[in-house]
Chain A
């Protein structure tokens, strides 16, 4: 790879790489607002200005591609001065209502003001007043005063969804983002503009004033809304009473799968968990035999015993399994192994249901996240064949109320004989089953999904499953014991082990090394997909995790302002009327005692 000079060091760059991206790879963090890795670069925020040897003016690093002759300085005095100026300019008309702003704690304006900006402004003029609360769509509320005119939202709606509901209106310091007359940001990707907004100008209606972000815990997982498998970060919060609750979902960047975006159907999918009456208690066991509180055990045992009885009485070919495709690889593998152990001719079916909305951006016609995985595990699409089976297990781990296996399909498959249902949410057909076991949904279990493109990605448990809802692997293990299938193991990652074994569908995959962006089979080996720079992540980790690092180079802590014992008036910078003061240079060293006294004295 060719080299260029960055802060006096020779570093490599890729052909056509933007300066800001190359610098980030080499640990030079450049502040930026308008730059977004998946949008065009207008270079209008001017926060990313850097010095290029030989250039008369500072250049925007989000606009210039690197070339071999470049000698770049990202931390020179001139650059730092420009950064301070831009931050000061951005803050003069910013309302500074951080105490009531949802973005506080993960706000780029706060972060950069701390890292690169002056700690005060000498602005004495009244701030520009704009609309504080403007509903611009069914999901999004706009605060024009907080807006810093980076135009990310405008560009997203122009370049990605191509719906262009938003535009900049007015000029000068009155310019602000606004929605076109008689339009509403009602496309199915509107939530992304909230993710992308570096400040608190765009807020999510459902998350507005819901929680301070530092009380949230972030979990990186994969969306289970369709066969794309978009990467996302789920934020949950502990509750005073009851189980922890998911508060919001943000897109997580994965250039090969979903760039930095997710659709609103996926983003607000967690809200479906609370809709309807989710059945969380097992039915159909002989509870009396097991005693009070052993409902789940009774149902699992009953199912296992019935399967054993059938296996003993009938010719093989009695068992049918119908799955929705919302189950993880591990679950489907465990289920298939159990079914084949009981009945070598068991019919495994994962019907092709393509009822989703297809678009050119992310959404796929197939709404199930792991149908590709089911296929890899030998699940076919023969629904008619199930009707002749004397026992059918119907499994549907889809968490959404109106999705999952359609009623007519289940009716056709289970019409022939006895059947048991395992679902993660209310279904119109589920009360008809002779036995019911509640399942954990995609936020309540961990595992692997294989998306339509053959990319294997990890699902992480975010919240615990309620009541008797369990991971299918757990149910299968209990059923296997009751059914006397003890020659195969179902606990302790046994199915994961069989998945990656030499004859498994994911043969050769190193589960411990699986990256956050998943892996794809390239020729013979599984290759991890490249993880993007955390510097450009649209979903910064919350402070509560203690993980958030705005810098790649963690060896240099960000500079801090030292506050002496006397409170704000004892800061190591002069506190005056606020006018014409020297802009403070943030230093890591505590101020010398005498200096700070002198400064305070002069100003008093």
Chain B
């Protein structure tokens, strides 16, 4: 089936980052149409009916999230765009920010109209100053053209977009950590409830959406839900941007409909495994997902099918690993990342991730002690579900998954380490 990209469509055109270039391919027509013809409630209903699930990692239905917004609070409503893309193995939002900023802005306008937010904040990861400049330039153009500001498209609707650059912390991608950072504080996630839709940015109702989720609003509103639901499978509809890295011949950004198998993505789109090697495993959606063995590569890449093999779609950051990859070393690398990025607020996460990282570090450096693997699982169980945010849970997932799916690799590592220490 041939698929026509809707998110990365103009990305190869350098002019696409300019308003002129974007409008040349029909940009802002949808937003204009929506603001002119549709009531905010109608937009919410359509997005809800489309079944769009958030592209930031958790896969929560976007339209449903909008309906949770506290009403008649007498406070302003905010839209916060989560462009703090820090999940290891994920670089799709960066691509969209740097090459298709206007589609994001158009998506923001549609969402802002739907939830009647007059202020939109785009929170960009600290390492994205280049992307910020591009998005800011695009925003400036929109202000000049009257697409943003006090009268959007000449209509009596004010919408301002502000970009904010983070300071380089993974935890600021957690939505409430991001809100704290936006407010100028340390990125410490907040206790929930209250959820951001009730009390978010500056204690006002706030909707937080991912860059890709907002960008995809444009084709949804342009082409309708029938088109959207013609892509992918039940409950897992729509286009999806994949960012593939690892041992494939052609790593990079791909856009397809949801629901193709891992094999299709890696073999047909990415040219398969590099020569002389074969795939061992893949992580389908960033480091916080369970691992998928090569024998399970016929699993569809969608929210539900992956869950059945102990993984999840996550962000769509697919990391493919061939037979040269040491799974324990990969795990050690990831857990060290979580230990480093734990904000340090909650005891289990602060201490537990560091402890697990310490054990793994010792392991991969050839020092094994009896019971290390049980210990790892026990530590991971201890910090699952007992913390304010999901960072600790995200760290526990790979520990359990890697140990369960590749026990023989861990055992081999332990034996090697044992031989090393005893000289046997």
Q: Please determine whether B387 and A173 come into contact, CB atoms closer than 8 angstroms.
A: no
Q: How far is the CA of A63 from the CA of B346 in the complex (A)?
A: 14
Per a CB cutoff under 8 Å, which of A56, A63, A90 touches B347? Answer: A90
Q: Please determine whether B358 and A125 come into contact, CB atoms closer than 8 angstroms.
A: yes
Q: A44-B345, A89-B348, A125-B355 are in contact. Are A171 and B340 (CB under 8 A)?
A: yes
Q: Is A57 positioned at the interface, with any CB of B under 8 Å from its CB? A: yes
List of A residues within 8 angstroms of B358 by Cβ? 125-126
Q: Please determine whether B351 and A579 come into contact, CB atoms closer than 8 angstroms.
A: no
Q: A89-B348, A577-B370 are in contact. Are A46 and B341 (CB under 8 A)?
A: no
Q: Is B385 positioned at the interface, with any CB of A under 8 Å from its CB? A: yes
Q: Please determine whether B344 and A170 come into contact, CB atoms closer than 8 angstroms.
A: yes
Q: How far is the CA of A429 from the CA of B387 in the complex (A)?
A: 64
Q: Please determine whether B355 and A168 come into contact, CB atoms closer than 8 angstroms.
A: no
Q: How far is the CA of A44 from the CA of B186 in the complex (A)?
A: 14
Q: A45-B347, A46-B348, A122-B375 are in contact. Are A173 and B354 (CB under 8 A)?
A: yes
Q: Please determine whether A89 and B344 come into contact, CB atoms closer than 8 angstroms.
A: no
List of B residues within 8 angstroms of A122 by Cβ? 371, 375
List of B residues within 8 angstroms of A43 by Cβ? 191, 388
Q: Please determine whether B371 and A86 come into contact, CB atoms closer than 8 angstroms.
A: no
Q: Please determine whether A86 and B339 come into contact, CB atoms closer than 8 angstroms.
A: no
Q: Is B210 positioned at the interface, with any CB of A under 8 Å from its CB? A: no
Give residues of chain B (341-399) contacting chain A, Cβ–Cβ below 8 Å: 341-348, 350-355, 358-359, 362, 369-372, 374-375, 378, 382-383, 385-388
Q: Is B152 positioned at the interface, with any CB of A under 8 Å from its CB? A: no
Q: How far is the CA of A167 from the CA of B186 in the complex (A)?
A: 10
Q: How far is the CA of A175 from the CA of B188 in the complex (A)?
A: 12
Q: How far is the CA of A56 from the CA of B384 in the complex (A)?
A: 12
Q: Please determine whether B375 and A92 come into contact, CB atoms closer than 8 angstroms.
A: no
Q: A93-B351, A168-B186, A172-B339 are in contact. Are A46 and B386 (CB under 8 A)?
A: yes
Q: Please determine whether B341 and A172 come into contact, CB atoms closer than 8 angstroms.
A: yes
Per a CB cutoff under 8 Å, which of A56, A63, A171, A172 touches B191? Answer: A63
Q: A85-B382, A168-B186, A171-B340 are in contact. Are A148 and B375 (CB under 8 A)?
A: no
Q: Is B169 positioned at the interface, with any CB of A under 8 Å from its CB? A: yes
Q: A46-B346, A85-B348 are in contact. Are A579 and B385 (CB under 8 A)?
A: no
Q: How far is the CA of A155 from the CA of B347 in the complex (A)?
A: 17
CB-nearest residue of chain B relative to A171? B344
Most chain B CB atoms below 10 A, which of A86, A167, A168: A86
Per a CB cutoff under 8 Å, which of A89, A125, A579 touches B371? Answer: A579
List of A residues within 8 angstroms of B382 by Cβ? 85, 88-89
List of A residues within 8 angstroms of B378 by Cβ? 580
How many whole Å from A223's CB to the nearest CB in chain B?
35
Q: Please determine whether A580 and B186 come into contact, CB atoms closer than 8 angstroms.
A: no
How many whole Å from B18's CB to the nearest CB in chain A?
39
CB-nearest residue of chain B relative to A56? B385
Q: Is A98 positioned at the interface, with any CB of B under 8 Å from its CB? A: no
Q: How far is the CA of A124 from the CA of B378 in the complex (A)?
A: 15
CB-nearest residue of chain A relative to B359? A125
Per a CB cutoff under 8 Å, which of A85, A148, A171, A175 touches B386? Answer: A85
Give residues of chain A (71-103) contacting chain B, Cβ–Cβ below 8 Å: 82, 85-86, 88-90, 92-93
CB-nearest residue of chain B relative to A59? B191
Q: Please determine whether B347 and A171 come into contact, CB atoms closer than 8 angstroms.
A: no
CB-nearest residue of chain A relative to B336? A172
Q: How far is the CA of A123 from the CA of B354 in the complex (A)?
A: 11
The digit string for A408-431, where 1 denotes a CB below 8 A from any CB of B, is 000000000000000000000000
CB-nearest residue of chain B relative to A577? B370
List of A residues within 8 angstroms of B383 by Cβ? 85, 89
Q: Please determine whether A580 and B375 come into contact, CB atoms closer than 8 angstroms.
A: yes
Q: Please determine whether B169 and A92 come into contact, CB atoms closer than 8 angstroms.
A: no
Q: Please determine whether B342 and A46 come into contact, CB atoms closer than 8 angstroms.
A: no
The digit string for B326-341, where 1 denotes a CB below 8 A from any CB of A, is 0000000000000111
Q: Is A450 positioned at the interface, with any CB of B under 8 Å from its CB? A: no
List of A residues within 8 angstroms of B354 by Cβ? 93, 128, 172-173
CB-nearest residue of chain B relative to A87? B347
Q: Is A514 positioned at the interface, with any CB of B under 8 Å from its CB? A: no
Q: How far is the CA of A218 from the CA of B350 in the complex (A)?
A: 36
Q: Please determine whether B372 and A44 come into contact, CB atoms closer than 8 angstroms.
A: no
Q: How far is the CA of A175 from the CA of B385 in the complex (A)?
A: 21
Q: Is A120 positioned at the interface, with any CB of B under 8 Å from its CB? A: no
Q: Is A133 positioned at the interface, with any CB of B under 8 Å from its CB? A: no
Q: Please determine whether A47 and B342 come into contact, CB atoms closer than 8 angstroms.
A: no
List of B residues within 8 angstroms of A82 by Cβ? 386
Per a CB cutoff under 8 Å, which of A49, A167, A173 touches B339? Answer: A173
Give residues of chain A (164-187) contacting chain B, Cβ–Cβ below 8 Å: 167-168, 170-175
Q: A49-B386, A57-B386 are in contact. Are A123 and B355 (CB under 8 A)?
A: yes
List of B residues within 8 angstroms of A85 by Cβ? 348, 382-383, 386
Q: Please determine whether A579 and B375 come into contact, CB atoms closer than 8 angstroms.
A: yes
Q: A579-B370, A580-B371 are in contact. Are A172 and B350 (CB under 8 A)?
A: yes
Q: Please determine whether B346 and A44 come into contact, CB atoms closer than 8 angstroms.
A: yes
The digit string for A51-79, where 1 denotes a CB below 8 A from any CB of B, is 00000111010010000000000000000
Q: A60-B191, A89-B382 are in contact. Are A171 and B342 (CB under 8 A)?
A: yes
Q: Please determine whether B386 and A579 come into contact, CB atoms closer than 8 angstroms.
A: no
Q: Is A190 positioned at the interface, with any CB of B under 8 Å from its CB? A: no
Q: Please determine whether B370 and A149 come into contact, CB atoms closer than 8 angstroms.
A: no
Q: Is A255 positioned at the interface, with any CB of B under 8 Å from its CB? A: no
List of B residues within 8 angstroms of A56 by Cβ? 385
How many whole Å from B194's CB to the nearest CB in chain A?
11
Q: Please determine whether A57 and B347 come into contact, CB atoms closer than 8 angstroms.
A: no
Q: Please determine whether B362 and A125 come into contact, CB atoms closer than 8 angstroms.
A: yes
Q: Please determine whether B355 and A172 come into contact, CB atoms closer than 8 angstroms.
A: no
Q: Please determine whether B351 and A173 come into contact, CB atoms closer than 8 angstroms.
A: yes
Q: How far is the CA of A172 from the CA of B388 in the complex (A)?
A: 14
Q: Please determine whether A46 and B340 come into contact, CB atoms closer than 8 angstroms.
A: no
How many whole Å from B309's CB to the nearest CB in chain A?
23
Give residues of chain A (332-349) contacting chain B, Cβ–Cβ below 8 Å: none
Q: Is A42 positioned at the interface, with any CB of B under 8 Å from its CB? A: yes
Most chain B CB atoms below 10 A, which of A47, A85, A123, A173: A173
List of B residues within 8 angstroms of A174 by Cβ? 344
Per a CB cutoff under 8 Å, which of B340, B342, B351, B385 touches A90? Answer: B351
CB-nearest residue of chain A relative to B378? A580
Q: How far is the CA of A89 from the CA of B388 in the complex (A)?
A: 16
Q: Please determine whether B374 and A58 come into contact, CB atoms closer than 8 angstroms.
A: no
How many whole Å from A129's CB to the nearest CB in chain B?
13
List of A residues within 8 angstroms of B188 by Cβ? 42, 44
Q: How far is the CA of A35 from the CA of B186 in the complex (A)?
A: 20
Q: A85-B382, A93-B351 are in contact. Are A579 and B369 (CB under 8 A)?
A: yes
Give residues of chain A (568-582) contacting chain B, Cβ–Cβ below 8 Å: 577, 579-580
Q: Please determine whether A89 and B351 come into contact, CB atoms closer than 8 angstroms.
A: yes
Per a CB cutoff under 8 Å, which of B186, B340, B348, B375 touches A86? Answer: B348
Most chain A CB atoms below 10 A, which of B343, B354, B375: B354
Q: How far is the CA of A128 from the CA of B378 in the complex (A)?
A: 21
Q: Please determine whether A175 and B369 come into contact, CB atoms closer than 8 angstroms.
A: no
Q: How far is the CA of A43 from the CA of B347 in the complex (A)?
A: 10
CB-nearest residue of chain B relative to A580? B371
Q: How far is the CA of A205 from the CA of B350 in the complex (A)?
A: 29
List of A residues within 8 angstroms of B353 by Cβ? 172-173
Give residues of chain B (159-195) contacting chain A, Cβ–Cβ below 8 Å: 169, 171, 186, 188, 191
List of A residues within 8 angstroms of B345 by Cβ? 42, 44, 149
Q: How far is the CA of A128 from the CA of B351 in the complex (A)?
A: 10
How many whole Å from B67's CB to the nearest CB in chain A?
22
List of A residues within 8 angstroms of B388 by Cβ? 43-44
Q: How far is the CA of A126 from the CA of B353 in the complex (A)?
A: 14
Q: How far is the CA of A60 from the CA of B359 in the complex (A)?
A: 29
> What are 6 inter-chain pairs, A to B, with CB distance below 8 A?
A56-B385, A57-B385, A122-B371, A171-B344, A172-B341, A173-B350
Taking A45-B347, A171-B344, A579-B370 as known contacts, 11 extra A-B pairs with beta carbons closer than 8 A to each other, sorted by chain A number, are: A44-B345, A46-B348, A46-B387, A57-B385, A122-B371, A126-B358, A148-B347, A171-B340, A172-B350, A580-B371, A580-B375
Q: Which residues of B contact A (CB under 8 A)?
A: 169, 171, 186, 188, 191, 339-348, 350-355, 358-359, 362, 369-372, 374-375, 378, 382-383, 385-388
